[in-house]
Each structure stands twice: as structure tokens, then as C-alpha cells.
Chains A and B, each alone.
Chain A
């Protein structure tokens, strides 16, 4: 599904990714861990198409197609979803109207008609129940005045509505209490299938108790320096990152 080869990227001439390789297949869950400043959020933003970064080397392929030159919305139309670490507040646009616009613009890009209002409402009801989201919440301005937990739940609600092929969860666990964490993880697990893939970016092991990864990668200094199975996350939780840094010396 996703194939990244020798990706090098910089921002304001500061090199952040320094030759990153990653392959994610349909049906897989990958976790990317690593210390602060390793380049985890940069990787997420580059896959989603944020134009603050310059790609100096390498390729990003989604289902065999190079997406590195596509606009963010075109990547979204191809099935890329990024759950933001800090979801943006947009006063004046309600959650419902935002998601309706997002779905219908995506359908338009695929040459489809708008989703019938009845189907849209039904889908909104189902998916908001899955994320235990209150009706009243849906008519509020997008992310405005939401608590940290509400923002993250709203991200996963949108993911559920958009049904992406590749979902990247950028520190979705930060700012969540244990109940919200369980609800969010449960939502992600219900959406998982053999046809889609998930990349979980996190500092901590605790989210991975709920969303169990097939592969765990350690990102350090712009490269993936170690990969393993779920047990690697547990080892990292116990030992920290220093032993990996030392291994590299």
C-alpha cells in the first residue's frame, strides 16, 4: 500500500528526514516510536502533503503511484488520512457541515454525485455512536473550545466517516484519559480491515495495548534505526531510547 524509499526532507534548509525506508501492506498496523525531535510528525505531515517541507531525495508511493507531487486534497482523495496531533479550530463551521463538505468533495473528485442526505445522516449517526459522540457535539463549531479528548475523538469520527485506505494517527493518545483512549482505540480497531492499513505514531506503549501493531519501528535522527514486532514497544517502554542510541554508536 505505502512504500517509502530513501526519503530525505528538510525544512528551512534544516535536514529532518535522512534516508527513511518504510513499507506498509494492506491489513497491517505499524507503530512508529522514537524520542522527541526524531522526525515522527514530519513524516506524517510529508505523507499527507504539507508544503512546509522540501523533499530532497526519495519517493513516496501509494498503491504503486508516486504521490509526492500531489496536493494534500488529492492524496486525501486517494485514501490518505492524517489524524492531527493538534487538530485546528475552525470557528463558524459545524462538525456536521464540515464532514458533509469533506465527503461530497471527495465524491466529486471521484466523479460521484453528492451523498443523499438520508444516507449521510444515517452514517453520521452510526459513526458518532461508535465513538460515543453526543448529538449536540456535532452542531458545534469544528474543534472550537473542544477538550483535548474531544478533539481526538472528533478526528477518529472523521476517519470513520471518510473510510481511508491509509490512516496515520499522529499522537492520537496524547491528551486522552484512559476512558477516551479506550473509545478511540476501539473505534480504530472496528475500522481495521484487510484492505486498509494504519500507522500509529506514539511516544508511549499504552495506546499499543489497545491497538496491537504488527510491526514497531524506532525513528531516530531522521531514519528508522530498529524494527521489530509488538514486543519491541514493550522493551522501549521499560528501557527508554538510550540503549538504541548507544547501539548505533
Chain B
């Protein structure tokens, strides 16, 4: 069965399981109609020019795995940041695992979307925030149509959450192929602070397609740091749609570490609705084989005196391909905007490709906007210099790549996350880390 047909019949089945007389379901129904009209994106769309989902959409995905699959903590512990205390929301094949999770309702909520969408206690927040900034494009609409499970995080005013929150989505591969559509909502009220670590992990090599949507609201003076770790199996594909709305004086940073997977598409959208906002978008991408990562970023500067900083580093080996499409829109009212964008790339093989495309749309006249893209190779002279001092070629190359990626790595605020990323990079480069930068 074609995936689109399958989605249609699944939607009918899905409606039998949820309350169809709710406002939420009205949103879902509209979204499903929207998806039916739009269909899956094709390369004819400008935004999908360099990324084709064709091969991924051909799989016979199971949309709602029936079996409850238990997994042992010991088998998956390596995917957690486990050397520090954290809250955890763990999903196995899209279903919440209370056994592996550590939620809370003490002074703030770290819990389930399915509960938030149905229980009266959360009604006000859901009404104010659910599906308010998510775009009405094809894949986001598809996610909204099936929106039911995911992470729900609500941090009230003046609360500084001391422990980071981990959101982990595991796929067990009990079905031949699995499609998941997690839906996350993160609301951070005035002067509150939270750190979030997000990871999608397939536990077998059976194909997986994840179409995730996360909405983040940062109120006045709020601080939100999000770390996305993408180091999945080479048969797992991910479309990660993130929508972030910021109010005055808030600071939101998103670090995206893309090291694995088959096709990964990151749609990262920031909307600045206030003054003196800082938006930080950083990424390290290291690919090999036929892996493909597409970073589509948007920062919409709507009001004056705001900043945005984008710094993406990419290292591409073998036949891997990368895309960086960074769009910055500065509205007429958004005077004194400072918007910086950098995309630096290293190609380690003749067959690797990077498509870099900055897009600046500036309607204000008193702004500072810069963008820079570089594509190069590792510096042979620097490598010889290191070898001459006794550092072997492989380690020398790794050191050069670490140094290249370090401007992004050094801005990670959680030391254990920084160490973990450094370790994943070292494994990827096949070196033992003998140096700290």
C-alpha cells in the first residue's frame, strides 16, 4: 500500500481511539485535510530541492506498533547522559515507558503529551500554546493530524530547573519498518530556565522514519538550552521540525549534533516577538557513507534590538551530502538587528557534497547582518606540521577536525554533554581522545 493511502486508513483507525469531540481533534482534522491536499514534499519544492524523501517513503511502515516492547535499561543506558541526575521522558516505539522515565509534577510539569491533551488541568496551556507556531506545511500538518504522544514540559515563572531534561525516543525494530510522529510542547514562563537533551535512537537496523514536531515558547527573560543528538542507525531517517517563539530578553539556544542516520532533515524556526532577544543556532555535522543531512534554519526578526547567531560546522566524508539553507528575515520594524550566520564545511573526499545557501531578506535599514560560507579541505601543511611533532596522521587529522568544530563544542553548557559529544566525535574519527582543546 502507498504510504499516503496507509496514512488515510490509519487516520480512520486513530479516530476510534481518541476523543473526536474535542477542540484538539478539530485541529487534527484540519491538519489531516491540509496534508491530504499538500501530499509529501518533492524535489520540485524549492525548500526540498536538495533532499529527496522518495527512497524513505517507499518503505512499508507500520504506523502504530501493536506490541508493547519492553527494553532493559542496561541495553540502552549508553544512549542516556547517565553520569548526571536528569529528568527523563522515554518513549519506546512511540509509547511512553514509565519504567525508564523519571517525570515530575512538583513545581513544574515534565510529563506526557497524551495526558496534557486530555486532562482539564492542562487545558489552559494547551489552548494557549498547542499548534500555535507550528507551520501549516505538509510534514508538520501530518504530525499535527496524529499528534497524541510526546513530551510535555511546562516551567512556571521564576523556576530554574536544576536537572536537565532528557527526551529519548527508542525504536525497537519489532516491526519490519516503523514510522513515528512524536509531538513535543515546551512552555517556559517568565524568568524561568530549563535545559533539554533530545535523542532519537533505533535499536536495530530495520527502517525507521520519524517526523517530529516540537514547539517551544520562551516568555520574557526566559532561558532555554536545547541539545539535539542525532547519531542514529544508518537506516533511520528523521525530519525534525522545531518552532521556537521568544519574548523580550529571552535567550534560546539550539545545538544540533548530526553524526548519524540515513536522511536527516532539520527544520529549525525561530520567531522573535519582543525586544533584546538572543537566538543561538549551532551545529556540528560529521557524515560518512551515503548519509545526508539538511539543515534548514529560519530566524524571523520581528521587533527591534534583537540578535541571532548561527554557527554550523560540517565535515563530510565518502559520498555523504550536506545542505545548509539559512534564512534570516528582518522586518521593517526590526531596526538595530544583529544577525550573524556562518557555515563552514570540510570535504574529506572528492565524492562528498555540500550545498550551502544563505538567504537574507532585510526590510529594515539600520541593521548588521552577515553571512559566510566556506568549503575547504583539511590543511596539508598543518597536518605535516603536527606529524613533524610526532602526532600520527590519523590523530593529526582528528585534532584538526576537533579544532574546526570546537567553536560549537565549547558553547555547550552541560560538561557531561560536551564530553559525550567529544567522545562520539572521537569514535567517529576512530581515535582515542588524548587531547582536550
A, B co-complexed: yes
Question: CB within 8 Å of B: which residues of A?
Answer: 48-50, 71-73, 75-77, 80-82, 84, 87-94, 97-106, 108-109, 114, 158, 162
Q: Looking at the assembled complex, report how far the CB atom of A232 sits from the nearest CB atom of chain B, in whole angstroms.
A: 29
**Assembly CA distance A91 to B396 (angstroms):** 14
**Is A76 a contact partner of B403 (Cβ separation < 8 A)?**
no
Q: Tell me the residues in window 347-406 of chain B with beta carbons closer than 8 Å to chain A beta carbons.
A: 379, 381-382, 384-393, 395-396, 399-400, 402-404, 406
**Is A102 a contact partner of B391 (Cβ separation < 8 A)?**
yes
Q: Looking at the assembled complex, report how far the CB atom of A50 sits from the nearest CB atom of chain B, in whole angstroms.
A: 6
Q: Quick one: which of A76, A90, A104, A162 contacts B434, CB cutoff 8 A?
A: A104
**Assembly CA distance A48 to B396 (angstroms):** 16
**Is A72 a contact partner of B399 (Cβ separation < 8 A)?**
no
**Is B434 a contact partner of A105 (Cβ separation < 8 A)?**
yes
- Complex: chain A residue closest to B395, CB-CB: A105
- Sample (26) of A-B pairs whose CB atoms are under 8 Å apart: A49-B387, A50-B384, A71-B393, A73-B388, A73-B390, A73-B393, A82-B388, A87-B385, A88-B379, A88-B381, A91-B403, A92-B404, A92-B407, A92-B437, A93-B437, A97-B435, A97-B437, A98-B389, A99-B389, A101-B395, A102-B386, A102-B390, A103-B390, A105-B392, A105-B395, A105-B434
A103 proximity list for chain B (CB < 8 A): 390
Extra pairs beyond A49-B388, A73-B393, A101-B399 (16, CB < 8 Å): A50-B384, A73-B390, A73-B391, A76-B387, A80-B388, A88-B382, A90-B386, A90-B400, A93-B399, A97-B435, A101-B395, A101-B435, A102-B386, A105-B390, A108-B434, A114-B434
**Is B437 a contact partner of A73 (Cβ separation < 8 A)?**
no
A49 proximity list for chain B (CB < 8 A): 387-388
**Assembly CA distance A232 to B378 (angstroms):** 43
**Is B388 a contact partner of A101 (Cβ separation < 8 A)?**
no
A48 proximity list for chain B (CB < 8 A): 388
Report which residue of A72, A98, A100 has the largest number of chain B beta carbons within 10 angstroms of its beta carbon: A72
Interface of B is mostly: helix
A108 proximity list for chain B (CB < 8 A): 434
**Assembly CA distance A105 to B399 (angstroms):** 12
B399 proximity list for chain A (CB < 8 A): 93, 101
A72-B388, A102-B389 known; A90 vs B435 contact (CB < 8 Å): no
A92-B404, A100-B435 known; A76 vs B389 contact (CB < 8 Å): yes
**Is A84 a contact partner of B385 (Cβ separation < 8 A)?**
yes
**Is A158 a contact partner of B389 (Cβ separation < 8 A)?**
yes
**Assembly CA distance A103 to B385 (angstroms):** 14
Q: Is B436 on the interface with A (CB-CB < 8 A)? A: yes
**Is B390 a contact partner of A109 (Cβ separation < 8 A)?**
yes
A50-B384, A100-B435 known; A105 vs B406 contact (CB < 8 Å): no
B395 proximity list for chain A (CB < 8 A): 101, 105
**Assembly CA distance A88 to B396 (angstroms):** 13
Report which residue of B385, B400, B403, B434 has the largest number of chain A beta carbons within 10 angstroms of its beta carbon: B385
A101 proximity list for chain B (CB < 8 A): 391, 395, 399, 434-435
Q: Looking at the assembled complex, report how far the CB atom of A90 sits from the nearest CB atom of chain B, in whole angstroms.
A: 5
Q: Looking at the assembled complex, report how far the CB atom of B303 sits from the nearest CB atom of chain A, in whole angstroms.
A: 35
A87-B385, A100-B435, A104-B434 known; A92 vs B402 contact (CB < 8 Å): yes
Residues of B in contact (CB 8 Å), total 26
B437 proximity list for chain A (CB < 8 A): 92-94, 97
**Assembly CA distance A75 to B437 (angstroms):** 26
**Is B436 a contact partner of A97 (Cβ separation < 8 A)?**
yes
**Is A77 a contact partner of B435 (Cβ separation < 8 A)?**
no
**Is B385 a contact partner of A90 (Cβ separation < 8 A)?**
yes
Please list the 9 inter-chain residue pairs (A to B) with the smallest Cβ-Cβ separation, ordered nearest first: A92-B403, A72-B387, A106-B390, A102-B389, A76-B390, A88-B385, A92-B406, A73-B387, A101-B435
Q: Looking at the assembled complex, report how far the CB atom of B284 sits from the nearest CB atom of chain A, in whole angstroms.
A: 13
B387 proximity list for chain A (CB < 8 A): 49, 71-73, 76
**Assembly CA distance A61 to B392 (angstroms):** 21
Q: Quick one: which of B390, B400, B403, B434 contacts A77, CB cutoff 8 A?
A: B390
**Assembly CA distance A135 to B186 (angstroms):** 46
A82 proximity list for chain B (CB < 8 A): 388
- Complex: chain A residue closest to B389, CB-CB: A102
B392 proximity list for chain A (CB < 8 A): 71, 73, 105, 109
**Assembly CA distance A175 to B32 (angstroms):** 70
Q: Tell me the residues in window 389-437 of chain B with beta carbons closer than 8 Å to chain A beta carbons.
A: 389-393, 395-396, 399-400, 402-404, 406-407, 434-437
**Assembly CA distance A193 to B395 (angstroms):** 32
A100-B435, A105-B395 known; A162 vs B389 contact (CB < 8 Å): yes
**Assembly CA distance A205 to B390 (angstroms):** 31
**Assembly CA distance A168 to B386 (angstroms):** 16
Q: Looking at the assembled complex, report how far the CB atom of A22 sits from the nearest CB atom of chain B, in whole angstroms.
A: 20
Report which residue of B379, B386, B395, B437 has the largest number of chain A beta carbons within 10 angstroms of its beta carbon: B386
Q: Looking at the assembled complex, report how far the CB atom of A69 sits from the nearest CB atom of chain B, in whole angstroms.
A: 15
B386 proximity list for chain A (CB < 8 A): 90, 98, 102
Q: Looking at the assembled complex, report how far the CB atom of B339 sits from the nearest CB atom of chain A, in whole angstroms.
A: 24
Q: Looking at the assembled complex, report how far the CB atom of B371 sits from the nearest CB atom of chain A, in whole angstroms.
A: 20
A91 proximity list for chain B (CB < 8 A): 403
Report which residue of B387, B395, B400 has the largest number of chain A beta carbons within 10 angstroms of its beta carbon: B387
Q: Looking at the assembled complex, report how far the CB atom of B149 sits from the nearest CB atom of chain A, in whole angstroms.
A: 41
B390 proximity list for chain A (CB < 8 A): 73, 76-77, 102-103, 105-106, 109, 162
Q: Tell me the residues in window 38-93 of chain B with beta carbons closer than 8 Å to chain A beta carbons.
A: none
A100 proximity list for chain B (CB < 8 A): 435
- Complex: chain B residue closest to A114, CB-CB: B434
**Assembly CA distance A199 to B279 (angstroms):** 55
Q: Looking at the assembled complex, report how far the CB atom of B169 sits from the nearest CB atom of chain A, in whole angstroms.
A: 33
B434 proximity list for chain A (CB < 8 A): 101, 104-105, 108, 114
Report which residue of B393, B407, B435 has the largest number of chain A beta carbons within 10 angstroms of its beta carbon: B435
Q: Looking at the assembled complex, report how far the CB atom of B432 sits from the nearest CB atom of chain A, in whole angstroms.
A: 9
**Assembly CA distance A71 to B396 (angstroms):** 13
**Assembly CA distance A81 to B384 (angstroms):** 12
